[in-house]
Amino acid sequence: MKVSVTFTADAIEKVEIVEHAETGGISDPAIETIPGAIVEYQSLGVDAVSGATLTSEAILNAVADCVTQAGGDVEALKAAPAGEKTVEGLQSTTVDVLVVGGGGAGLSAALSAAQNGASVILVEKLAALGGNTFRCGGAFNTYDPEGQASNPMTESLSTTVENLLAHEDVSEEHAALKADVQKQWDEYKTSGRTNLFDSPEWHALQTLDAGDYLGNVSQIRTLTTNTLDTLHWLTENGVNWSDEVSTVVGALWNRSHQTTPDASGAQIVAALENAARAANVQIFLDTKAESLVNSNGKVTGAVLTNANGESVTVTANKGVILATGGFAANVEMRTKYNEEGNKWENIDKLGTNNTPGATGDGITMGLGVDANLVGMGWIQLMPLNSVSGGGISGYVNSTAFVNQEGKRYVAEDGRRDVLAAGALAQTNQTFYGICDNKEATLRMAQAALDGQVAYGMISRGETLAELAGIIGVPADALEATIAEFNDLVKAGKPDEFGRTLWENTIEEGPFYAVAFTPCVHHTMGGLEINGSAQVLNTSGEVIEGLYAAGEVTGGIHGTNRVGGNAVPDALTFGKIAGATAAAAK
Ligand SMILES: Cc1cc2nc3c(=O)[nH]c(=O)nc-3n(C[C@H](O)[C@H](O)[C@H](O)COP(=O)(O)OP(=O)(O)OC[C@H]3O[C@@H](n4cnc5c(N)ncnc54)[C@H](O)[C@@H]3O)c2cc1C
């Protein structure tokens, strides 16, 4: 963060942000408001913007540095009053549907409810919409015959299908799902097709298997049969998708759709916000839901704290939709529930790439009305968490994971829990994603690549040996590993680690490396819902007036979420929740 401050003899006249490497969108509210507030109040005591506290502090620290350089009194400016925040806060009112949380699930629910004729208020506790959906890579898994038309089927991918079909029956629902896939697979084999085999049922079977058969089959089927419809709905509402359908890390199959021009959820959030506002959804930021109003077993609204710190009540005639996201940013909660599931070591000390808003509020509010929780112990670590904040892509089709010794150690196309455990076992719990120019420029614009190299966020070498020198791994080992990787791509067979997805070789310089270490990424458990996104209580009954969607819910992902399944989950069940709530009497 570089700022320029203009002083008069006794005042701060102007604060300008000259240069920064903050994450676009997340930092915007701070960049837009903090410089003006410092000048307006002649104070360094202005409040940080919620959700952009690090950026706010970076600006305040940089200005304080300038004040020192100019011979001013930093402590006096920090103590100076910074004015009262007065905004048009939400007041107590009545509406058809109240949506709590302004990420993907909440925006999708609000838009869907409004499109189905309901009056809607959406509240977001941070200063900006988006939540994890804004931060995310926007990878969206769906079966899509048109989009996948040019993805090839290979011998090793056929092995994956055969292996899952050979899995012993775990339940009647699993057996029925397998039978559906078997029929499709038999038809596929006799059809003579050479492009990728896929179907909603095959997506469902892979999702169930990846979660160790602990996901709810019926909920998974609801998800995978609706994702293509959700994708088209997003397109109608302004989201652009790349023609490239590939495999985001942990996605297990070439069905991850990527937003374009950038692989980012920011575009999904912007499109849904525009569509929701156009459909008359009222949006209130800095507004936090505290508890649900329970009238004789029916949820009829919520008590909230508005942007001015006042307590207000919203009565929701048709219901409340909880879309508050997960709890990865709540260290106490994730430490407690980790004991029931993954038992990741030192989960309290690991970082997270989540929004600070991911504190499990919806789960806590749900518990207040006897909501049932499922799968709470299953917490996902993201293996591809960039050490420097940079990164090229989360796609694994043409990337090798290499450790500090310059060796591969895992199947890059595998499950995220396996990838995370593998990474935690490497020197410094760190590894490098290595790709070549072809892959890098497919995923990112050249200017963005150059910018990240300039900021030291990613490393680039004209040759593999040069790259090895920059990242400090033995050059001969890296060259040998990549040569072997390229032979495996050409052979297209499963390798010693079980990798089956092979696409392009790593041959075209310059070469890129991104350093990664695992962090807490996704919480798979949450409120139990049914196929209509109604929340169930501990007796398995519907809680009237209460709906939920997205990461606040549990039941789909089992022990391990398939990469690229969360965004479709949030948006699909958000859409369903909005429609169900709008139709309520
Ligand atoms: C860095 C990153 C990359 C990812 N990439 C992908 C990807 O490419 N593909 C994929 O499928 N998944 C991805 N995921 C996971 C996916 O983004 C999330 O699971 C999904 O977006 C969650 O959507 P949501 O709407 O349920 O929650 P969120 O988008 O997190 O939204 C919840 C919102 O609720 C707000 N809130 C919380 N409590 C309250 C309250 N009491 N009152 C009011 N508001 C409240 C929060 O502040 C937040 O804004 C990624 C996650 C991360 C962190």
C-alpha gyration radius of the chain? 25
Span 76-97, pLDDT tens digits: 898 888 876 667 899 999 999 9
Per-residue pLDDT at 148: 97
Range(s) for CATH 3.90.700.10 in the chain? 384-517
**Token pair 């859409």 in the structure block, residue:** 575
Window from 66-70, 115-119, 542-546 with minimum mean pLDDT: 66-70
Q: Is the C-beta atom of 105 inside 6 A of ligand 1?
A: yes
* Number of Cβ within a 10 Å radius of residue 407: 18
> 33 CA distance to ligand 1 centroid (A)?
24
Atom of ligand 1 nearest to the CA of 552: 26
How many residues in the chain?
A: 585
Residue range 292-316: average pLDDT? 96
How confident is residue 69, by pLDDT bands cut at 50, 70 and 90? very high
Per-residue pLDDT at 84: 67
Q: Is the pLDDT of residue 54 over 90?
A: no
Residues 139 and 496: their CA atoms lie apart, in Å, by 28
How confident is residue 380, by pLDDT bands cut at 50, 70 and 90? very high
What DSSP assignment string belongs to 443-482? HS-HHHHHHHHHTTSSEEESSHHHHHHHHTS-HHHHHHHH
Average pLDDT, the chain: 95
Would you say domain 93-136+265-381+521-583 falls under CATH 3.50.50.60?
Answer: yes
Atom of ligand 1 nearest to the CA of 101: 34
Window from 164-178, 384-398, 478-492, 551-565 with minimum mean pLDDT: 384-398
Q: Is the C-beta atom of 288 inside 6 A of ligand 1?
A: yes
Residues 553 and 14: their CA atoms lie apart, in Å, by 46
Q: Whose CA is nearest to atom 35 of ligand 1?
A: 101
Span 194-216, pLDDT tens digits: 999 999 999 999 999 999 999 99
Contacts of 126 (CB under 8 A, 6+ apart): 50, 51, 102, 285, 286, 355, 356, 357
CA 188 to chain centre: 33
Q: Which residues carry out catalysis? A: 416
> 52 CA distance to ligand 1 centroid (A)?
15
Q: Is the C-beta atom of 131 inside 6 A of ligand 1?
A: yes
CATH class of the 384-517 domain in this structure:
alpha beta
Per-residue pLDDT at 52: 82
> 252 CA distance to ligand 1 centroid (A)?
22
**Token pair 């339940």 in the structure block, residue:** 171
Span 408-432, pLDDT tens digits: 999 999 999 999 999 999 999 999 9
Span 151-170, pLDDT tens digits: 999 998 999 999 999 999 99
Q: Is the C-beta atom of 565 inside 6 A of ligand 1?
A: yes
Range(s) for CATH 3.50.50.60 in the chain? 93-136+265-381+521-583
Cα-based angle 543, 544, 549 (whole degrees, multiple of 5): 70
